[in-house]
């Protein structure tokens, strides 16, 4: 399945197999594996590891995928033995964090130009980390960032879903930072390292951003906290959930459609303008 999976998904499957599955099933014939074996397997994994229900669900999904693949290859007939396996009781997922506008203002105040611009892009567009790495100056036009690629490790990939391939409005505070960072460049990675390649955002966070947060008594909650923060901040400003979904480019669970957004809807633009005013109001406050 290697050629069909995104590199991040492949790595996740390999890690799950190595840590929790392989040694437990290595001596079991595929055709002999029954639903009860899956039930006992997940229960044993849960009892010996401090895992969340979400992780256990991923393990079940991985195993189910193994049997689906075996059936497609003609190796196995009959029902998928993982289909009726239950998820054992497990600890609740840890709390996820969303950066507030106040957090973002404090964070940006003492950051150098490049780091400040990356943080602003993450906080005020809601782009995923891989999408931020994939941005090129050619993607910034008409007051919007056009998401056309993502970069995970050394892999240049298509956006996560068709819905992700979209345009995101750029508010004035972010536009000002981008214009300053651009310095006449017309192409190439928007956020680049010293060699001119896509910037490693984890290294940037560890070496530049987190030390600033320590000084300002803030905790680093990862890049995805900016995406959650945008949703939360827009919601607090009274923006409806459907418009927030458009801005974050989430897929609808009710509707399946292929979308390649060529422009930005008026609702999305209006919502981002309201966010812009809130950002400016925060910036006007003394540190």
pLDDT at 80: 94
Higher pLDDT, 228 or 191: 191
Average pLDDT over residues 43-54: 87
Question: What digits encode the pLDDT tens for the residues 246-277?
Answer: 887 666 433 222 222 223 445 556 666 777 77
| β-strands 150-152, 167-169 pairing | unpaired
Least confident of 5-14, 63-72, 190-199: 5-14
Report the distance separating Cα 69 and Cα 91, nearest Å.
Answer: 30
Residue found by looking up tokens 């943080």 in the block: 119
pLDDT at 254: 31
Least confident of 4-8, 187-191, 260-264: 260-264
Q: Taking the model in full, what pTM does it have?
A: 0.67
Residues 7/153, Cβ–Cβ less than 8 Å: yes
- Average confidence score pLDDT of the chain: 83
| Domains and their CATH numbers in the chain | 2-72 (no CATH), 101-283 (1.10.443.10)
Q: Phi, psi (5° rounding) for residue 82?
A: -85, -10
Average pLDDT over residues 14-35: 91
Residues 121/227, Cβ–Cβ less than 8 Å: no
Higher pLDDT, 51 or 285: 51
Average pLDDT over residues 88-115: 81
The answer to whether residue 223 scores a pLDDT higher than 90 is: yes
pLDDT at 270: 67
Alpha-carbon distances, residue 178 vs 7, 38, 141, 170 (angstroms): 30, 52, 11, 10
């Amino acid at each position: 399945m290697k050629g069909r999976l995104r590199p991040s998904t492949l790595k996740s499957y390999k890690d799950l197999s190595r840590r929790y599955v392989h040694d437990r099933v290595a001596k079991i014939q595929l055709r002999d594996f029954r639903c009860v074996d899956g039930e006992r397997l997940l229960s044993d994994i849960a009892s010996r590891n401090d895992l969340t229900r979400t992780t256990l669900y991923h393990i079940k999904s991985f195993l189910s995928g193994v049997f689906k693949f075996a059936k497609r290859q003609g190796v196995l007939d009959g029902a998928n033995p993982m289909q009726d396996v239950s998820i054992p009781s497990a600890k609740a997922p840890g709390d996820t964090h969303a950066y507030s506008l106040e957090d973002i203002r404090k964070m940006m105040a003492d950051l150098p130009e490049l780091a400040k611009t990356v943080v602003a892009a993450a906080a005020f567009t809601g782009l995923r980390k891989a999408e931020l790495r994939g941005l090129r100056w050619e993607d910034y036009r008409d007051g919007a960032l056009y998401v056309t690629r993502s970069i995970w490790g050394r892999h240049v990939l298509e956006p996560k879903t068709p819905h992700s391939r979209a345009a995101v409005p750029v508010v004035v505070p972010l536009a000002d930072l981008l214009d300053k960072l651009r310095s006449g460049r017309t192409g190439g990675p928007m956020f680049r390292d010293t060699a001119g390649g896509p910037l490693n955002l984890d290294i940037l966070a560890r070496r530049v951003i987190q030390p600033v947060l320590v000084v300002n008594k803030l905790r680093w909650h990862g890049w995805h906290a900016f995406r959650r923060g945008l949703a939360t901040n827009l919601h607090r400003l009274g923006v409806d959930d459907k418009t927030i979904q458009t801005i974050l480019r989430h897929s609808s669970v009710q509707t399946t459609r292929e979308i390649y957004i060529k422009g930005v809807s008026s609702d999305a633009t209006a919502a981002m303008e309201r966010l812009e005013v809130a950002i400016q109001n925060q910036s006007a406050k003394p540190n």
